[in-house]
Structure 1
Amino acid sequence: MSTLSDTLKVSDNLLHPFFPPFTQFFLMNHLKALLPYLRRYAVELIAGFAFMLLQNYSLMKSPIYMNRALDEIINANRGGVLLTNVLAITFYTAVTFGAMYAMRKLIIGVSRKIEYDLRERLYHKILTVKMSFFQENQTGDLSSRCTNDLDAVRSLLGPGIMYVPNSLSRLAFFLPQLMLLNRQLMFITLSILVCISALIVVIMPGLRPLHKQVQEHVGAINNRVWQVISGITTLKLYTLEGIETQRFETLNQEYIRRQMKLVKMRGILWPFFLFVFSITELLILWIGGKTVITGGMTIGQLLQFNVMVANLTMPVMALGWVMTVIQQGIAAMGRLNHILDAPVEERADWTELETDELTFTAKNLTYRYPSLPPSSVAKIGNVPANPAATAEERPLVLRGLDFTIAPGQTVAITGTIGSGKTTLINLMSGLFQPERGMLYINGADIRDIQPANLLQKISVVPQETFLFSRSIAENIALSADGEANREQIERAAQHAGLHGDIQTFPDQYDQMIGERGITLSGGQKQRTAIARALMKQSPVLIFDDTLSSVDAKTEAHILDNLNALHSFKTLIIISHRISALRNADVIYVLDQGKILERGTHAELLAQGGLYARLAKMQQMEELFRDENA
């Protein structure tokens, strides 16, 4: 049995050449997410629509009294009757403006409130979706969805839902009056209005793909701007301003090209509407004038008819703009739904890690990255990622890893660039998800462990340090939800070898460090991140090449402090520096996603493999530096 949806789809296919948007009035799936918000503010919306009816009723009454007043003037009747009509016109005009104000305040106000609610929901959703979502979507495009597209949805909920019922209710009030005045003129006017409205309803939905293309391109432009601002130092160091300007110009030209398609369509429609309505006015004056001459109408009635038609004309002309707003809003809501519908794994049977004694076990751990957006440029290890490739065609980042990390161990991981070291850490911390049965913690599959509970047990100092534009104390206390006292913050900074540097700052721990910590050196940024991780006091501490920007003396100082600490039980260090690895209980050497070697520092040197070659190379580099110091 065919469903209503199937029936409407078939109807749409049959009628598409003549009436493309037929099913769009029934199947606007993108807008379903807005229904709960509309219900939430139903009382305000109903009140707004009530004021809309009052506005149109009073707008209908004013021309009636204009008719009477003009006829009184022409007939030179009593001044008292004229004054009564003038007072009535004044009263209904005041009611019209008051009702219009209340209508707009209520309905537009609801659109602003829903905009606020949607922004809150989007922000919360972005904070709770899986990391794979950010691998598949570009930062600038997500930012564009949360700003430009949200603004388009607000316009849909404000003018979009206000003007259409406003036009229909005005038509319902005015038509009976127009029919009483002159049926012939009424049918001529109504025919023209219906034809114009039908033309707008048919043409405007066809512009939705163009609106979607423009909005997607705005996302691409925002993403490009975000990348340029984030990488401005690199661009300036390599004097790439000219090349980047040309690239942006190409992107901008494409945006203008797409916008001009919309401009041409709207540019044709508006002059056409004005022409048609001008012809309508001429017909009213011609036919109505002849009717007045023959005594079928008074001049006052002709004035009333003309004013009412003018009041009907403006909403119909605005209908073209409103339909544009609606199409933009529908396309924008589809882009917002991409975020709102992103999966967030919620289960009632999560496994909780009750103990701080964590054992990590990998069994044939294999991993490849999920699909990437077509416009992104990425590499998996040293292999360029093909966005069009299927999951099976993408290169493996990790290949059949088997290991066990016991509580209390110090484990080191090293290897060639792009060998999967950071990916392994992201899997162990739950940011990425392996296939089931490949990675366990205390015997439980990591996919069954509650993510927030797992991250409470692990502190990761990532390879790319991110600092917020706040004071250095606030950045250190971030992992403690900002509730740490100054003594705890200073202790963490001392263990990270940062306290001495902070003492030289003008405001010390209250020093503002600028966007992304721009006022700090690379080593200071890394040590701030280390202090932040130590504040968390998790049983597992992971350094992902965190000591690369500090000198050997500072590195030794930090590692000595870590050995003296008892706030964590397991330490995992990823580094290319042999000096940071030599005291580990076990060292894993990765190459092309595989564990090539494993053992202690002495055992790996004795094997004479990749680790031994790396150690010898670094030893020679140190001797060379010492000789040239």
Structure 2
Amino acid sequence: MADPTKYQGSDWGLYRRLLSYVVPYSAAFAFSVAGFLVYSLGSVLLADLTQFLLDSLGQSSQVELGLVSAAAHWFWPPGDKDPLDYARVAVPVAAVVLSLGRALGFFVGNYYMNVVARSVVHTLRVELFEVMMAAPRRYYDANTSGNLLSKITFNVEQVSGAASDALKAILREGLTVMALVTYMLYLNWRLTLIFFVVAPAIGLVVVVVGRHFRRYSRRIQDSMGAVTQVSSESLGAFEALRVFAATRQQVAKFTNASLFNRNQSLKLAFVQAVSTPVIQTLLALALGALFWFALDPTILAGFSAGSLVAFITAAAQMGKPIRTLSGVQSIIQRGLAAAEDVFAQIDISPEPDRGTTPLARAKGEIVMERVSFRYPEANEYALENISLQLKPGETVALVGRSGSGKSTLVQLLLRFYAPDHGEIRLDDLVIEEYALADYRSQFGVVSQNISLFSDTIANNIAFGQMADASYESVLAAAQQAHAIEFIEALPQGLDTTLGDGGSGLSGGQKQRLAIARALLKDAPILVLDEATSALDTESETYIQDALAEFCKDRATLVIAHRLSTIENADRVIVLDQGCIVATGPHQQLLNDSPLYARLHKQEISQS
């Protein structure tokens, strides 16, 4: 499992990896840079325009000093016009052209940076989702669904801020500051050095504040995971909450999670609010010193009135971009805190698949030999020294009390976990040697927990590798599973779109769709985990008959709590505390296994 703190302390390495997601969109990024460059030059030239205007009032145009003035004289020579008449036309036209150019640059820069931003979000989100889909079972054991959902939504959005919003501000305001400083150096380099005196102090404030930003940002992410988890659990269990009068309890739980998120957000806002006035004060001191030196008679001697005002205007414009750049630190630190976690998820190892042997269709003979397995951090084995055999055409039932290891055995068989000891073989080959996708394609599974998706009934039956199945084969599977009766009663039949998780269908209807899906897969090995538990007696009889016909040439493993459903199994294996305590036909076990007889008696007394 990946370490979420792997990137702590390596901001540049983390940010460099984050910027690598911008590279595929370099064309849009280049347009954005060009737009912001035009915008920043516009800011400088608007300041320079004041020199053109003021010097024209003095009837002496300083063409050799003013950039706008020089450009105007080059494009439109004044001829015999005096400076004031020339400025009456040239200054307004220049002001309009510069404003339009600056506005166009702002639009191009922001729009194309947003193109980059949303593309990065999309790429990261898809990559993270793909990783989660390929993650091992232990990953899901260690993370709640709400926490994983928060990583895909909230954390990725925070990362995009560092990759886009921060870049946008750095480019736009950074280029503006560079252009203004360059212009001020051009006018008077000695006065400009005053700004370089306060630069280290501003940098120190940014570094100190950044450390707090990262810490609070991590806490905000964790609290958002808690908020999402409580929300997801509560919205999915609203019936149970109301039946057991637990709504107030969940509201209190949600309130606490949200309150922690609020408190961390306020701490972050406080640090950000403190840093801004500190930086503004430093800038004000620099501007005050600049004005004091600029009004010195020896300094004034080197300025025209227009160039002095242009210098002061440029210096005054430095405040806003520097404040914005100091605020970028919070965006970057929030993004880097999120990136630590997102990249830790992306770097997790996929489900192990060292198998290289292809498998088209297995015969279906399964052998477990002295298999033991213990869950991580568990003290006792969930399964211990399990040996059994399942042959093609044979139906074997697993029976036992809750927690006896039945579901764990199926998880091992499906390669969601690997045994700690012993081995499992399929057709005389250890299952880890088969390519994982090929191996799992040999199993048709009907689970107690049925997974249905917001799609049509037909697509829910023809699911995954069966997506190309014909309409006729889907219809035949639905008929065989005795699902066609309720399907035909729906408005669009097989084309009816189901709600989330199959909402609107009864438990029995969902179970029939799951059985139809397994029948359509036509796999050589069938695993039935309480496959008919939600059906009425009549429907169960019909489906049991259909499954009996279907299982004739297949290896079938049945997990059941209702022992009446397995009376016709070839063999029944009784599990208790992770061990096989009895095996044999149903009638023999009633006589030879006290545990099996007791379970059977309890079922009869409860029926």
What TM-score do the two structures reach when normalised by structure 1? 0.85
Aligned residue number for residue 123 of structure 2: 117
Greater Cα offset, 138-147 or 157-166: 157-166
Supply the distance in 2 between the matched residues of 1:56 and 1:519 (Cα, whole angstroms): 58
Question: SS of 1:425's equivalent?
Answer: helix
Greater Cα offset, 512-521 or 601-610: 512-521
Deviation at 1:190, TM superposition (A): 3.1
Supply the distance in 2 between the matched residues of 1:479 and 1:347 (Cα, whole angstroms): 19
Deviation at 1:275, TM superposition (A): 3.6
Greater Cα offset, 92-101 or 580-589: 92-101
Question: SS of 2:22's equivalent?
Answer: helix
1:465-512: CA deviation from partner (whole Å, max 9, x where unpaired):
122233333322225543333432232222222222334434433344
CA 1:349–1:543 in structure 2 vs 1: closer, same or farther (change >3 Å)?
Answer: closer
Supply the distance in 2 between the matched residues of 1:100 and 1:292 (Cα, whole angstroms): 39
In structure 2, runs of 5+ residues without a counterpart are 1-6, 61-82
1:144 correspondence with 2:129: no
Supply the distance in 1 between the matched residues of 2:144 and 2:558 (Cα, whole angstroms): 30
Aligned residue number for residue 62 of structure 1: 46
1:364 correspondence with 2:370: yes
Could you tell me which amino acid in structure 2 is paired with residue 406 of structure 1?
A: K
CA 1:509–1:166 in structure 2 vs 1: closer, same or farther (change >3 Å)?
Answer: closer
Greater Cα offset, 573-582 or 358-367: 358-367
CA 1:291–1:571 in structure 2 vs 1: closer, same or farther (change >3 Å)?
Answer: farther
Greater Cα offset, 468-477 or 323-332: 468-477
Aligned residue number for residue 405 of structure 1: 390
Could you tell me which amino acid in structure 2 is paired with residue 213 of structure 1?
A: R
Aligned residue number for residue 78 of structure 2: none
CA 1:239–1:292 in structure 2 vs 1: closer, same or farther (change >3 Å)?
Answer: farther
CA 1:490–1:304 in structure 2 vs 1: closer, same or farther (change >3 Å)?
Answer: same
CA contact (8 A) 2:42 2:99 kept: yes
1:105 correspondence with 2:105: no
Aligned residue number for residue 542 of structure 1: 527
CA contact (8 A) 2:280 2:319 kept: no
CA contact (8 A) 1:492 1:534 kept: yes
Aligned residue number for residue 16 of structure 1: none
User: Percent of pairs identical after alignment?
Assistant: 25
Supply the distance in 2 between the matched residues of 1:611 and 1:553 (Cα, whole angstroms): 26
The structure, 1 or 2, with the larger RCO (C-alpha pairs under 8 Å, 6+ apart) is: 2
Aligned residue number for residue 438 of structure 2: 453
Greater Cα offset, 250-259 or 91-100: 91-100
One of 167, 170, 177 as aligned partner of 1:161:
167
CA 1:27–1:470 in structure 2 vs 1: closer, same or farther (change >3 Å)?
Answer: closer
1:361-380: CA deviation from partner (whole Å, max 9, x where unpaired):
1122122223xxxxxxxxxx
Deviation at 1:566, TM superposition (A): 6.1
Deviation at 1:614, TM superposition (A): 1.7
Deviation at 1:286, TM superposition (A): 4.7
CA contact (8 A) 1:467 1:516 kept: yes
1:525 correspondence with 2:531: no
Aligned residue number for residue 199 of structure 1: 205
Question: SS of 1:37's equivalent?
Answer: coil
Aligned residue number for residue 37 of structure 2: 53
Aligned residue number for residue 604 of structure 2: 619
One of 377, 388, 407 as aligned partner of 1:422:
407
- Following superposition of structure 1 onto structure 2, how do residues 288-437 of structure 1 map, counting pairs within 5 Å? 288-289=294-295, 291=297, 295-345=301-351, 350-370=356-376, 391=377, 393-435=378-420, 437=422
1:586-612: CA deviation from partner (whole Å, max 9, x where unpaired):
111111111111111121112042111
One of 22, 31, 35 as aligned partner of 1:38:
22
Question: SS of 2:441's equivalent?
Answer: helix
- Following superposition of structure 1 onto structure 2, how do residues 577-592 of structure 1 map, counting pairs within 5 Å? 577-592=562-577
Deviation at 1:248, TM superposition (A): 1.3
Supply the distance in 1 between the matched residues of 2:553 and 2:119 (Cα, whole angstroms): 46
One of 414, 418, 426 as aligned partner of 1:441:
426
Question: SS of 1:417's equivalent?
Answer: coil
Deviation at 1:207, TM superposition (A): 2.1
CA contact (8 A) 1:292 1:299 kept: no
Deviation at 1:420, TM superposition (A): 1.4
Question: SS of 1:274's equivalent?
Answer: helix
Supply the distance in 1 between the matched residues of 2:223 and 2:477 (Cα, whole angstroms): 46
Aligned residue number for residue 80 of structure 2: none
In structure 1, runs of 5+ residues without a counterpart are 1-20, 371-390, 623-629
Supply the distance in 2 between the matched residues of 1:46 and 1:403 (Cα, whole angstroms): 65
Greater Cα offset, 101-110 or 168-177: 168-177
One of 459, 464, 468 as aligned partner of 1:483:
468
Aligned length: 579
Aligned residue number for residue 603 of structure 1: 588
Could you tell me which amino acid in structure 1 is paired with residue 235 of structure 2?
A: I
Supply the distance in 1 between the matched residues of 2:414 and 2:518 (Cα, whole angstroms): 14
